[in-house]
Structure 1
Amino acid sequence: MISISNISHKKVTWLELFYDLIYVAAVSVTAHVLAHSHHGAIPADVILKYILIFVPLWWAWTGFTVYVNRFGKDDTAQRIAYFVQMAFVIVMAASINLDFDAYYLAFMLGYVGIRLSTVFMYVRTWIQQRGEPRRIARYLGLAFLGGALISFASVLVPGEAKFFVLYFGIFLDILLPLLARKKVLSHLPVHHPHLLERYGLATIILLGELILVIVNGLREGHAGFDTILTAVLGFGIAVSLWWHYFESSEHIAAEDRKSSGQSVIYGHLLTFMSLGLIANVVHYGFHHELTTRSFAWLSLAGFAMYAASAAIIFLPGKSPAHIRRSLIRTIAFAAAAAVILLLLPSTSAVYAASFAIFAAYALAEGVARSRSKRAHA
């Protein structure tokens, strides 16, 4: 069986970090799409574009990340694959624009280039390995090749219909590994601690982007009390996110999970998307361009999406009683956030309440983890 123990951790970690930095630049550009408001609201088509752009970015990054987790070797071919993918990510990032249709072909060339280079690595493993690794590499390589070709065919489709073709290819990419989870992928589970580390690296860089929003807000605004308070509350949100995410990740990192890692993989789609929403909450906290109701909905969506992602990532493998209690807390916080945020009279009040909700959520989850540790000591 091939495992991450075959990889030079130091070398791969630095290269993976370099790889992540390129992706996060693209994610940051994507999140900036939501910074275009109109008449006090973020238009529905802008929100849709955020999703349409974000999902292919996440899936392209995820595809190679999971390949390296299962089959990675720090050799020349893998390094070249990293650098080739980075070049295609730059093409994708340069193609992200509100006028998405005009840049769609370049965006798809970047996306499909990344996916085909991942397929190449699976085919290489298919040729080199024997037994279960060979069977799994063959299955995933062929599945992802089909999905990539279908997605690329979307450039031949006029109008909005091309997005259905694009997402049908991505849907197959996601569905086929799910269908093979027990019969195929279970024979070669992911290396769980390394997978958490990889997603943790990307998460911490995205939190750094949130800090950059705060820095830009301070630079662009007047050095008054309101600006400083906005920065302090935004930093408090970032700290709360860091505290909750990495405390929770550390809590499950030592668990001996033998799985395909799909709760971690798919849960982080919501995590990464929520961080983009939260970065825009902080942005609009500095720039009062949204109505109170629109700002409240944005803040609620950011919190609810993050809390949902945390439940998906961190709860599998726990006891039914633990899962039940955690889900009750999550639902209670989401319900309280909906009531509080949507009833507050001003954007400043909503912003302050958002910080309080994130901080309280991180604190409550921390207390629950401490009690769980004592109960199992």
Structure 2
Amino acid sequence: MGNEDDGRMAPTAEDRSGTAAGTGRTGRPPGGVVRRAMRGRDPREAHRAATPLELLFDLMFVVAVAQAAAQLHHALAEGHLDTALTGYPAVFFAIWWAWLNFAWFASAYDTDDVPYRLLTLVQMAGVLVLAAGVRPAFEDGDFAAVVAGYVIMRAVMITQWLRAAAGHPEGRTAALRYAAGVAAVQAGWIARLWAPGAWAWLTFLALVSAELAVPVWAEYRGRPTAWHAGHIAERYGLFTLIVLGEVILAALTAVESAVSERGVSGDLVMIAVGGLLLVFSLWWIYFTGADPALTSLRAALAWGYGHYLVFASVAALGAGLETALDVAEHRAHLSTRTAALSVAVPVVLVLLTLYVLHRLTHTGAVGHPLLVIAGAAVVAALALAAPAIGAAAAVLGMGLTVAATLTANLVAVHRGTPPGEEA
């Protein structure tokens, strides 16, 4: 992650013509080339969009996200709150961090040649290994398969960074730091598998901190990595859409199951309507305003790291809606309040995190902070009141609250927009 305005790699005459770098008129390297030097992409490239390989990569991650959300739902419905509160954040960190690192690297160094494609396909295989290990991680605390899949993906990134160091002298220092840092942390993850008892979570937190520190260390001095700000914004937006789709699928599956067993009920309708309002409103809130201004390392890190809460919370919302429906239909070993909180907590986290990210990256999407804070407070209050009003009514109220928060914010943004600049 680098700074868009500070020392980014300028395209050479050969790069502009597309002859040496093989970029052609659009700046996108054609697929199928056996091998090309990994010189880096032009950060000012016009019409830079996600590639078919990146989209396939995201679809592979859908499997892992779905597995994590399904196991979260199972843990919540069975009343295993300790497993839900520890296993889910840990597993989702591995999913999110592996995706994030590929997304930023591809933005800077996507050569789309045969080695690049093959290495990315190996990463996809690692995603599937990780996904296969989600259930043992939740049920037995066995993270061996999760670590194996994660290390496969990270080992590929080490190879890619070494390719970048060899092909792009201007970015060699940062590339070698990335490769060294990632390699050192992966050795730690492997060693952690033998950590005894209480040391398991202490070493987990230490290694997470180390992972997060690698980009900061790699980009701290020297020439920053030349990622494409518009491309990064699109990649995050597309993955958000994918995770929202997982919420809709999870909720639909739960509704179908409830209808087949008990038929249509008032509680089911309220949860279905509330869930749809939450998904639609959160989508609108996310995609309000201009593209994020990722013009500094601080803004890039905030946007990249902050999306852990966005992605994990949105995926958890699907599990929460399923749990609320289970409680309303008397199929879960969980209190009404806890079920409502399983919906409210993800919603509150998304609202507050998006508020911070929109403000830090100057998207102009936040009309007034008190609107967001008030909306989040009402959502939390509805969850706490669930024993009195019922889980279904609480979820419907949350959906109406977030929709009202969105509406009030759009009005505030419109009023604060100078004449002639309305979208």
TM-score (norm 2): 0.79
Query: Which piece of structure 1 moves more, 38-47 or 293-302?
Result: 38-47
- State the distance in 1 between where 2:307 and 2:280 align: 19
Query: Which piece of structure 1 moves more, 135-144 or 176-185?
Result: 176-185
Residue number among 301, 306, 309 corresponding to 1:270 in the alignment? 309
- What residue number does 2:287 align with? 246
- What residue number does 2:169 align with? 130
**1:311-330 matched pairs, under 5 angstroms:** 311-318=355-362, 326-330=368-372
**1:150-189 matched pairs, under 5 angstroms:** 150-179=188-217, 181-184=219-222, 187-189=224-226
Aligned residues: 369
Q: Tell me if structure 2 keeps the 8 A contact 1:144–1:173.
A: yes
CA deviation map 1:319-350 (0-9, x unaligned):
9xx79964333323222322333124111221
Stretches of structure 2 that go unaligned for 5 or more consecutive residues are: 1-8, 10-39
Q: Tell me if structure 2 keeps the 8 A contact 1:151–1:170.
A: no
The letter for the 2-side match of 1:224 is V
**1:1-377 matched pairs, under 5 angstroms:** 1=9, 2=40, 3=42, 13-37=51-75, 41-97=79-135, 99-100=137-138, 101=140, 103-131=142-170, 133-179=171-217, 181-184=219-222, 187-222=224-259, 223-226=263-266, 227-248=268-289, 251-253=290-292, 255=293, 257-259=295-297, 261-288=300-327, 289=332, 290-318=334-362, 326-344=368-386, 345=388, 346-374=390-418, 377=421
The letter for the 2-side match of 1:29 is Q
Q: Tell me if structure 2 keeps the 8 A contact 1:122–1:137.
A: yes
- State the distance in 1 between where 2:412 and 2:136 align: 43
- State the distance in 2 between where 1:324 and 1:183 align: 33
- C-alpha deviation, 1:66, in angstroms: 1.0
CA deviation map 1:113-139 (0-9, x unaligned):
1111111100110111112x1122122
Q: Tell me if structure 1 keeps the 8 A contact 2:108–2:227.
A: yes
- State the distance in 2 between where 1:72 and 1:161 align: 39
Give the percent of matched residue pairs that are identical in Structure 1 and Structure 2: 25
Q: Tell me if structure 1 keeps the 8 A contact 2:274–2:399.
A: yes
Query: Which piece of structure 1 moves more, 98-107 or 296-305?
Result: 98-107
- State the distance in 1 between where 2:127 and 2:220 align: 32
Query: Which piece of structure 1 moves more, 15-24 or 343-352?
Result: 343-352
- C-alpha deviation, 1:109, in angstroms: 1.0
Query: Which piece of structure 1 moves more, 345-354 or 101-110?
Result: 101-110
The letter for the 1-side match of 2:280 is V
Q: Tell me if structure 2 keeps the 8 A contact 1:24–1:202.
A: no
- C-alpha deviation, 1:176, in angstroms: 3.3
Structure 1 residues 169 and 39, CA gap change in structure 2 (3 angstroms): closer
- C-alpha deviation, 1:86, in angstroms: 0.5
- State the distance in 2 between where 1:158 and 1:17 align: 39
- State the distance in 1 between where 2:182 and 2:251 align: 39
- State the distance in 2 between where 1:8 and 1:112 align: 33
- C-alpha deviation, 1:229, in angstroms: 3.8
- Aligned CA-pair RMSD: 2.7
The letter for the 2-side match of 1:195 is I
Higher Cα Rg, which structure: 2
Q: Tell me if structure 1 keeps the 8 A contact 2:314–2:346.
A: yes
The letter for the 2-side match of 1:107 is V
Structure 1 residues 7 and 82, CA gap change in structure 2 (3 angstroms): farther
